[in-house]
Chain A
C-alpha cells in the first residue's frame, strides 16, 4: 500500500525567501505525482503534475522535481509572497486510478 509523507507539517518564512517542500512515497510504481494547493475552507487546486518518465516541471515561480528511484519529490517556491500562504499537498497516482495523498505542509509567508 502506497504511503505518502510530507515534511515539514508546517513552515513559516519571511516574504521573499526561497523554500522547499518535501514529499516522499514508498511505492515507486507510480503513473505520476501531483502537487496541489489548498486554501482554508476551499477545494484543491492543481499546481504541477510530473509524469513518471519526467524529472521536473516548472510553472512560474514553482518548480517540482521527481526522483522515482528514491521515492522523493520536492516543490521549490522562489521569492515567496504572502499570497503563497496555503496548505500544499502532494499525491501519487498508482494503478486503479488511485491518488494517495500526503497530509500536507501548511505554509505561512509573513510580510
Chain B
C-alpha cells in the first residue's frame, strides 16, 4: 500500500519547456490536490479535484493545468515552464473534501526551471 505516489522525484527544465507531473493514489479517496512549497511562502494550493470529473482553481493556478484522469490519478501540467515555477510540488488526497478528513501527502517532486 503505497498511499500517494508522485513521478518524477526530480526534474530540471529549461525555460519554455513543458512537462507533466503525475500523481496516483491507492487509497480510493475522492479528493486530490496539488500544492507547491517555496521558502518563505509555505505550501500553497494550485488546483484541486473534489471528485472524479471535477477540478477547481486554488490560490496560485496561473501557468498550470490539471487533469483528473480517473479516480486514482491527478496530473499537473506546465505548458511553458518559467523560473518562477521552480519549487517542490506535492500531491495530496483526502477521503471527502470539506468533511473533516485528513489529507495525505505524496513525497514530492523537486522541479528546477533554468
Contacts and interface: CB of A to CB of B under 8 A. Distances in A.
Contacts, number: 63
Contacts of A32: 100
Bin the interface of chain A by size: 20 to 34
A43 B4 CA distance: 10
B50 A97 contact: yes
8 contacts: A31-B98, A44-B92, A93-B100, A97-B31, A97-B48, A97-B56, A98-B48, A104-B42
Interface of A: 4, 31-32, 34, 36, 42-46, 49, 51-52, 89, 91, 93, 95-99, 101-104
Interface of B: 4, 31, 33, 35, 40-45, 48, 50, 56, 58-59, 90, 92, 94, 97-108
Given A93-B100, A98-B59, A102-B42, 18 more contacts: A42-B108, A43-B90, A46-B105, A51-B100, A93-B98, A95-B98, A96-B56, A97-B33, A97-B94, A97-B98, A98-B45, A99-B35, A99-B45, A99-B103, A101-B43, A101-B44, A103-B40, A103-B41
